[in-house]
């Protein structure tokens, strides 16, 4: 029988989608109020991998990632996903979201994304929240899975994700000296 132990802390990241750079910036400020300082901000990129969000959010979407300085316990992702959903509602224009916030976390070996949607590859965490291993870090690179979203599978986000992984590793190393 294995010993039960607590997991190492993880690096919180949030992938944001919006048609507006101002909405991305405002959502970032709002999340900083909830989760502390942002230490990594990715480039704003055009998001054209799917039209899934078009009916609700329109076209011309932009994607940006942020990562937070403080590390979290992995089980905090449930409350974080619920809070990011509330933030989305606060910025909604009626029933249409103006910003989409997808929280997740990075460990040394994987990227986990939280979701409110169940699917074959997702596990239930509680309080209506599921999680999936979206990418795995193997031999110095991010590896996709058959269910990985096309934008994550494209490699376009790998530089940001690696920077976040490196920041996590450095912080854990400093804390465990």
Residues of the chain with pLDDT under 50: none
Would you state the pLDDT for residue 93?
87
- H-run or E-run covering 105: strand 99-106
Distance CA 64, CA 115 (A): 18
**111-133, pLDDT tens digit by residue?**
999 999 999 999 999 999 999 99
pLDDT score recorded for residue 80: 98
Token pair in block for residue 111: 């990227």
- The values of phi and psi at residue 15, to 5°, are -90, 130
In angstroms, the CA 149 to CA 167 distance is 24
Tell me the pTM.
0.95
For residue 101, what pLDDT is reported?
98
Provide the residue ranges of all domains of the chain, joining segments of one domain with +: 10-175
- 43-64 pLDDT per residue, tens: 999 999 888 888 889 899 999 9
- Tell me what pLDDT residue 55 has: 87
* CA separation for the pair 144, 146 (Å, rounded): 7
Q: Name the CA radius of gyration of the chain, rounded.
A: 16
The Cα–Cα gap between 55 and 35 comes to 30
The whole-number pLDDT of residue 177 equals 64
Token couple for 153: 């599978």
């Amino acid at each position: 029988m294995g010993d039960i132990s607590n997991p190492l802390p993880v690096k919180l990241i949030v992938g944001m989608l919006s048609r507006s750079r101002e909405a991305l910036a405002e959502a970032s400020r709002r999340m900083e109020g909830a989760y502390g300082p942002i230490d990594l901000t990715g480039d704003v990129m055009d998001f054209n991998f799917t039209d899934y969000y078009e009916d609700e959010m329109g076209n011309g979407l932009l994607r940006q990632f942020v990562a937070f300085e403080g590390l979290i316990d992995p089980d905090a992702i449930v409350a974080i996903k619920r809070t990011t959903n509330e933030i989305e509602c606060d910025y909604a224009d009626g029933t249409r979201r103006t910003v989409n916030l997808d929280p997740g976390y990075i460990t040394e070996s994987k990227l986990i994304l939280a979701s409110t949607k169940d699917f074959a590859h997702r596990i239930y965490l509680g309080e209506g929240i599921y999680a999936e291993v979206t990418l795995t870090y193997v031999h110095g690179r991010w590896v996709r899975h058959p269910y990985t979203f096309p934008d994550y599978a494209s490699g376009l986000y790998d530089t940001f994700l690696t920077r976040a992984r490196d920041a996590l590793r450095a912080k854990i190393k400093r804390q465990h000296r």
